[in-house]
Amino acid sequence: MLLMDESFGAIAPLTRAALQNERTAENGIEWVGPASFGDQYGVARADGASGPAGVVDSLDELSDFVHEHPDEATCCGDAEFMDRQWEAFQDYYDARFNAADVYRMSLASNYVNVAKADPCNFAEVFTTDARLKSMDLQVDEDTDVYSTTQLAAITVHHETAEAHPELGEALDEETVISLNGMVDIDGLSADEAALYFLRQEGFIG
């Protein structure tokens, strides 16, 4: 983590341990975790996709797929991903899509269109988005770790951390996708979803 040093106008590195100690001393807050999930870019396809795209389960399989089935190599992505990541991603996995088969659209449209495989068999997604589950999408394994994993960490009061040191480990990717679905799809508030999780896991009565 990097914090701005106002006195020198420079960015100075601050370790997690140092930050934790500082915040604990000031406010009685501790970091629990890191959790066993992160939220980062992913590439998904319809879970029941037919044809050659339906057997692509990891990103290192994209290179052979693109070369052997160029007409099936279609991808949707939003402007940020396409502008910042797309060229480097293709180079990283040696999977060069034809420009005419790459579609720019809103992030929300990515999920809808890849779920019906029209106009794209693959799409940029985020790995804890609830629509992965509700639309039956499969995130292809990032075999060679192109996308940086940003593991989440939970901040809790010191007493809670002492009573439940396992709290951070209880949040995994599948759980977070389900909790996000409660908010984004079922209409619960974030507080209601959090209370459900805490009660379900036995952290509160």
Is 66 part of a structural domain of the chain?
yes
Give residue 21's pLDDT band: very low, low, confident or very high (50, 70, 90): low
Nearest CA to 66 out of 81, 56, 78 is that of 56
| C-alpha dihedral (113, 118, 120, 123), degrees to nearest 10 | 20
CATH number for position 126: 3.40.190.120
Q: Which residues pair with 38 in a beta bridge?
A: 151
In the chain, the largest separation of any two C-alpha atoms, in whole Å, equals 60
Which residue range is the domain that position 163 belongs to?
2-32+153-200
- How do beta strands 137-139 and 2-5 pair? unpaired
| Model pLDDT, residue 52 | 96
* pLDDT for residue 28 is more than 90: no
Q: Is 119 exposed, middle or buried (0-12, 13-18, 19+ CB in 10 A)?
A: middle
pLDDT per residue as tens digits for the range 62-100? 999 999 999 999 999 999 999 999 999 999 999 999 999
Q: Label residue 10 by pLDDT band (50, 70, 90).
A: very low
Q: What is the pLDDT of residue 33?
A: 72
Residue percentage of the chain with pLDDT more than 70 = 88
Q: Does residue 47 sit in the same domain as residue 131? A: yes
Q: What are the tens digits of pLDDT across the range 93-132?
A: 999 999 999 999 999 999 999 999 999 999 999 999 999 9
What are 119-174's pLDDT values in tens digits? 999 999 999 999 999 999 999 999 899 987 777 878 888 888 888 888 878 888 99
Phi-psi region of 50 (alpha: psi -120 to 50; beta: other; left: phi over 0): beta
Is a pLDDT exceeding 70 seen at residue 4?
no
Please check whether residue 148 lies inside any domain of the structure.
no
pLDDT > 50? residue 9: no
Tell me whether residue 205 is in a domain: no
What residues pair up with 141 in beta bridges, in sequence order?
A: 58
Residues 133 and 97 in one domain: yes
Domain boundary among 139, 162, 186: 139
Residue 183 structure tokens: 């908010």
Identify the residue with better confidence: 74 or 23: 74
